[in-house]
């Protein structure tokens, strides 16, 4: 068996249920500290110049390398939402992050799409620098309504219909489906869900409290946080971690430590609501649909049947972790571009030339053994 196949096989083991959890909820096997000794005795340690540095994590990156604008949007009665946008024209690609992440998780993908499309990535309620009247109301009803009203605030004044593709990762994938199912997004032309399936998500829920408890409670610096992020496999791309991970933290005024910005433990009452009935809702959404997964082990019964019936496009990316769009940003962007082109999102419908007036229509002639005299 080749190395690549062996790696893929390992990824489709019995641990699949846990890997479907949010990135910050993913299994953690290492401490958040980079200060652990590299050997048990200093006399056996090589000279410092020969010791591999554990502090080689990239410095935090700024949003403006990838995005055109960062601004706040006031939604009356709901709150103030932080939004990143890239690109000035073309159909809208609305990107919804997973639990604990922020809009910056889409940075590398946005950089690949912004020449032809308008990429919009908000910090969802309770995440990043978005501020609402109730930051711990993570219900699917509240969060999907946030998304619909945000789109209305951004593009509702347009005199023309705004073609929109909605893309969501994990929790954001569920919210994308529920927002699409509401039929309140007027210009919706497609839905893409990344690495979330009802069956495996529901199976993972009993483990999530323990997973959350195993995370480091704080980091002494952003560099340490980025190092932890890449070392534990939460994100396998150093570039993506450098721009995404800092936005998931806030600095505690008292200790100066960096702590998690989103209290994911308070989202627990809503976990089941995000995912229960998700597969059938996804299949029922009209229009083109795509599901990006790290492995076929994610498919539950409804999606397996739906995929066999051709109700959605399935793309497998077995070399990525749960945060597919961070780990394999180039390939994710490539699949999105192909999807947008294949289903002509934002493009006029195809027209076929008509025969000139007076030309008799030629019908096909049925032939075969059953029709021979």
Q: What residues act catalytically?
A: 170, 195, 322
Reading the block at residue 290, the tokens are 């795509």
Q: What is the 3-state secondary structure (H, E, C) of 162-178?
A: CCEEEEEECHHHHHHHH
- The residues near 51 (Cβ < 8 Å, ≥ 6 apart) are 38, 45
Mapping DSSP to helix (H, G, I), strand (E, B) and coil, where does residue 229 land? Answer: helix
Query: 88: part of which helix (H) or strand (E)?
Result: none
Cβ–Cβ < 8 Å for 224, 251: no
Residue 208 CA to residue 360 CA, distance in Å, equals 68
DSSP 23-53: GGGS---S-S-S-S-SSS-GGGPPPGGGSPP
> In degrees, to the nearest 5, what angle opens at C-alpha 265 toward C-alphas 262 and 268?
115
> In degrees, to the nearest 5, what angle opens at C-alpha 274 toward C-alphas 179 and 103?
65
Query: Beta partners for 292?
Result: 194, 315
Count how many residues are written for the chain: 373
Pairing of strands 69-75, 79-86: antiparallel
φ, ψ for residue 84 (rounded to 5)?
A: -110, 135
Reading the block at residue 262, the tokens are 């989103």
Residue where the block lists tokens 């995912």: 275
Residue 256 CA to residue 12 CA, distance in Å, equals 40
């Amino acid at each position: 068996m080749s190395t690549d196949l062996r790696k893929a096989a390992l990824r489709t083991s019995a641990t699949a249920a846990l890997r479907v959890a949010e990135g910050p909820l993913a299994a953690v096997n290492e401490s958040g500290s980079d200060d652990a000794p590299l050997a048990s005795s200093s006399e056996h340690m090589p000279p410092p110049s020969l010791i591999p540095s554990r502090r080689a994590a990239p410095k935090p990156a700024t949003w403006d390398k990838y995005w055109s604008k960062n601004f706040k949007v006031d939604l009356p009665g709901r709150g103030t939402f932080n939004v990143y946008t890239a690109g000035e024209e073309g159909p809208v690609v609305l990107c919804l992050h997973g639990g604990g992440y922020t809009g910056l998780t889409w940075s590398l993908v946005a950089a690949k799409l912004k020449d032809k499309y308008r990429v919009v990535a908000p910090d969802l309620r309770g995440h990043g620098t978005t501020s609402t009247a109730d930051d711990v109301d993570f219900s699917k009803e509240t969060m999907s309504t946030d998304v619909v009203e945000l789109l209305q605030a951004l593009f509702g004044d347009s005199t023309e219909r705004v073609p929109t593709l909605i893309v969501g990762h994990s929790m954001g994938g569920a919210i994308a489906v529920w927002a699409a199912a509401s039929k309140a997004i007027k210009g919706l032309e497609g839905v893409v869900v990344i690495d979330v399936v009802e069956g495996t998500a529901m199976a993972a829920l009993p483990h999530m409290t323990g997973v959350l408890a195993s995370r480091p409670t704080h980091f002494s610096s952003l560099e340490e946080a980025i190092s932890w992020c890449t070392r534990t496999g939460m994100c396998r791309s150093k570039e993506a971690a450098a721009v995404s991970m800092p936005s998931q933290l806030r600095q505690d005024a008292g200790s100066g430590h960096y702590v998690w910005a989103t209290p994911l433990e308070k989202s627990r009452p809503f976990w089941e609501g995000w995912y229960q009935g998700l597969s059938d809702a996804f299949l029922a959404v009209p229009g083109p649909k795509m599901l990006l997964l790290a492995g076929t082990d994610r498919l539950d019964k409804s999606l397996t049947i739906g995929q066999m019936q051709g109700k959605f496009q399935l793309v497998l990316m077995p070399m990525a972790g749960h945060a597919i769009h961070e780990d394999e940003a180039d390939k994710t962007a490539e699949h999105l571009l192909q999807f947008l082109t294949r289903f002509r999102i934002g493009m006029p419908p195809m027209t076929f030339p008509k025969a000139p007036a007076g030309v008799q229509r030629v019908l096909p002639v049925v032939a075969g053994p059953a029709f021979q005299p």
